[in-house]
Amino acid sequence: SGQFRVPRDGVQLLAPLGDPQKLICVGLNYRDHCGEQGARVPTDPVIFNKFPSAIAGPFDDIVLPQESSQVDWEVELAAVIGKKGRHIEESVALDHVVGFMVANDVSARDWQMRNGRQWLLGKTFDTFCPLGPALVTKEAVTDVHNLRIRCSVNGQVMQDSSTSQLIFPLPKLIAWVSRFVTLVPGDILLTGTPAGVGFFRKPPVFLKHGDEVQCEIEQLGVICNRVV
């Protein structure tokens, strides 16, 4: 209706899902992101994860950890599982999705490259996964594989791409992950980030206290997080 029952400035929006059983992420899944770092296009999806404790609300603060000096942004399309499944066929994979959100896969690049180059620790600091602003149902999205996806820092556009750049589309990702684990309602799948992250800029750019990071996906909305 365009109307509201509670004034927006009087509420704090939480993440649409705060405690999923699984928070699954995909690396190197945009062609332009592979290109900016000179990486080969993967032959299979690159899977890692964050812990649910990393989840923050769509307008909550991102807290810089004292353990890192190289915190980066990554705007991502997040898909939410709505139907349980294992060994899901690609042809019916989207039947297992209930909807979508905007996500920021905040990343501590120094820790991503340490610890045997396992990404987990660099990806899962508290507040490193803002989500929202709402769970947009699948039926409300025209074509999830053709949405503009953008990230700006302090008003400067850093990432500007399209989900048409995805190397492995959602049906492929769901089928792949479900070969290894049972997907259950509420599981969240982050599908990768496009080009424009700070780590591969010349010189590299990292988030600092007071920065404002805005992530936006067409038809899904905007999340905006201050760095503290």
Q: Which domain holds residue 24?
A: 16-227
In DSSP terms, 100 is beta-bridged to 79, 136
On whether residue 131 sits in a domain, the answer given is yes
On whether residue 10 sits in a domain, the answer given is no
How many domains is the chain partitioned into structurally? Answer: 1
Q: Residue 100 has what pLDDT?
A: 98
Q: Residue 2 has what pLDDT?
A: 74
AA identity, residue 147:
L
On whether residue 9 sits in a domain, the answer given is no
**CA separation for the pair 109, 19 (Å, rounded):** 25
* CATH code: domain of residue 213: 3.90.850.10
On whether residue 187 sits in a domain, the answer given is yes
Give 44-58 pLDDT, tens digit per residue: 999 999 999 999 999
On whether residue 11 sits in a domain, the answer given is no
The C-alpha torsion from 83 through 86 and 87 to 91, rounded to 10°, is: 0
How many other CB atoms sit within 10 Å of the CB of residue 90? 14
pLDDT above 80: residue 148:
yes
On whether residue 121 sits in a domain, the answer given is yes
On whether residue 3 sits in a domain, the answer given is no
On whether residue 5 sits in a domain, the answer given is no
**CA separation for the pair 61, 57 (Å, rounded):** 8
pTM above 0.85, yes or no: yes
Give 57-68 pLDDT, tens digit per residue: 999 999 999 999
User: What is the pLDDT confidence band of residue 117, given thresholds at 50, 70 and 90?
Assistant: confident
Token pair listed for 34: 């592979």
